[in-house]
Amino acid sequence: MKIVILERNSVGEDVSVDCISDFGEVTVYRNTVTADEVRERVKDADIVIANKSPLREETLKDAPRVKLICEFATGYDNCDLEYCSSRGIKVTNVRDYCTAMVAQHTFCLALALSEKLPHYDTYVKSGEYSAQDRFSNFDIPFYELAGKTWGIVGMGNIGRRVAKIAETFGCRVIFYSVTGKSTCRDYLQVDFDTLLAESDFLSLHCPLSDLTKNLIDAAALKKMKKTAILLNVARGRVVDNAALYEALVQGEIQAAGLDVVENEPLEISNPLSRLRDSNRLIITPHLAWASVEARTRCVWEAHENIAAFLRGEERNVVNP
């Protein structure tokens, strides 16, 4: 059995992938980006492990032995599922491995922005605090989460975890179902306009689809409270980045915390790259999922997907 890991670095060099060797000879590449690289590296493989590398007819047609593709991720939009199914190639992903970390990061962003932590940290370190004649400083007002309304788009595992934490802080939780098919009855489901109008914090936990692309656009941002904080830990294209920049500059919303942007890494041409005020905008480099524990679980889940496949069982298969 020949196994190729195309993007070893996607789970970090500090996390071991040695367990994959349980199933055969493993060839590891730190990163694989181009179609030509993929085509050459998978041509003799039985199993391919990837994250973002393009896996479609162009890159797989000369790899007749491939039987299984394992994603080091929940998303699988790098795979052409229709082509893989036509070839009898199973595609698996990993699920619910980073729920705790994404929820944690959501609140890291929310608290930093709502309490103006960048401002107060800078104030102390600049020497201004040491030079003042009183024990405290709260020149920029901040408020409690208790009593606020926390809105959610995407009431899956992560959305539900965020909702529970928000409740613990004393928030009222509402949510919007993009598809209208949510079975969640634990929280109040509202229409999109109500979500925008009532949310003090609006966190996004939905997949990217035709329904969610640019869901938060200029029109949506204008319907939000001027005091609202937007949090995107879902997919970058759920938010129109140019519209968000204008909304922040014009004061249409208070602040935004992003772990994802339209094109990653952040492009200089993205207007958000010009907004350096961390009291209004915090951007982290797509790391909300990436605690050591979560990345370790990711690798092990891929291991278990391979083990199930070799036993003739379907586990986390995403294509027919």
Indicate which residues carry an active-site annotation: 235, 264, 286
175: helix, strand or coil: strand
Alpha-carbon distance 163 to 172, whole Å?
Answer: 9
* Amino acid code (one letter) for 149: T
Sign, CA torsion 300/302/303/307: positive
CA angle (15 as vertex; 12, 16 as ends), nearest 5 = 125
DSSP 130: H
Which residues are CB-neighbours of 93 under 8 A, at least 6 positions away?
71, 73, 74, 75, 76, 316, 318
The b-or-e profile of 132-159 (16+ CB within 10 A means b, else e) is eeeeeeeeeeeeebeebbbbbbbbbbbb
Alpha-carbon distance 1 to 191, whole Å?
Answer: 51
Q: Are 182 and 157 in contact (CB under 8 A)?
A: no
Alpha-carbon distance 15 to 152, whole Å?
Answer: 32
Q: What are phi and psi of 81, to 5 degrees?
A: -65, -35
Contacts 24+ apart (CB under 8 A), 74-78: 74/98, 75/207, 76/318, 77/208, 78/50, 78/51, 78/52, 78/53, 78/54
In whole angstroms, how large is the CA radius of gyration of the chain?
A: 22
